[in-house]
């Protein structure tokens, strides 16, 4: 079931070719822990695309990865401090692939001089597990506290003294 409890994960990584697969497995493990198995493939594929592009074009290989789950959307963000890495030139093919497979994406530059590239995936409505209603439980306050004061009406004729079975009454 898709939980509505917000989840957050942060990972700092020094990008190298052998670390790309490792980071992908780490992100997949967190998504499975959050019960988001259906988002593992697109998120890991997008992460691998960006990490390979950063490895090829960046001079500063240090990258921060963050994932946020708010109950409806998963946002994955990559931040770096490399001023020479330009998303419009160096990351163009990776960003085109990410735009095609995600529900939303973007790139922003905070005042610190770093860049943040993010993409989001939403949980599809058909993939949610329906909630099962619980049966009501009796409350002690609704039970009778004392025996009935009135007699219950007799619904059948009393059995004569000698007949104790139904066969005897026929």
CB 65 within 8 A of CB 78: yes
Per-position DSSP letters for 136-154, written without gaps between them: P---GGGS-SS--SSPPPP
Query: Who's near 84: CB < 8 A, 6+ residues apart?
Result: 58, 59
Residue 109, CA distances (Å) to 8, 136, 141, 149 in order? 21, 54, 62, 80
Q: Give the tens place of pLDDT for each residue, 24-78.
A: 999 999 999 888 888 999 999 999 988 888 888 778 888 999 999 888 889 999 9
Which phi and psi (to 5°) does residue 108 adopt? -140, 160
Do 31 and 75 meet the contact criterion of CB atoms below 8 Å apart?
no
Strand spans (E) along 86-135: 104-108, 115-122
Mean per-residue pLDDT, 136-146: 59
The pTM (predicted TM-score) of the whole model is 0.66
Q: How many Cβ atoms from other residues are within 10 Å of residue 99's Cβ?
A: 13
Determine what percent of the chain is predicted with pLDDT higher than 70: 64
């Amino acid at each position: 079931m898709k939980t509505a409890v917000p989840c957050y994960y942060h990972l700092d990584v020094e990008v190298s070719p052998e670390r790309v697969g490792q980071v992908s497995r780490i992100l997949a493990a967190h998504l499975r822990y959050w019960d988001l198995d259906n988002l593992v493939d697109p998120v890991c594929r997008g992460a691998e695309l960006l990490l390979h592009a950063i490895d090829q074009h960046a001079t500063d290989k240090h990258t921060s990865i963050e994932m946020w789950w708010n109950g409806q959307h998963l946002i994955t963000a990559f931040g770096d401090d490399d001023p020479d890495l330009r998303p419009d030139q160096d990351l163009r093919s990776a960003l085109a692939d990410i735009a095609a497979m995600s529900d939303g994406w973007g790139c922003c530059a905070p005042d610190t001089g770093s860049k943040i590239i993010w993409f989001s995936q939403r949980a599809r409505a058909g993939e949610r597990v329906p909630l099962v209603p619980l049966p009501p439980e009796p409350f002690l306050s609704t039970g009778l506290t004392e025996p009935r004061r009135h007699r219950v009406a007799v619904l059948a004729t009393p059995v004569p003294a000698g007949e104790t079975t139904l066969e005897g009454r026929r």
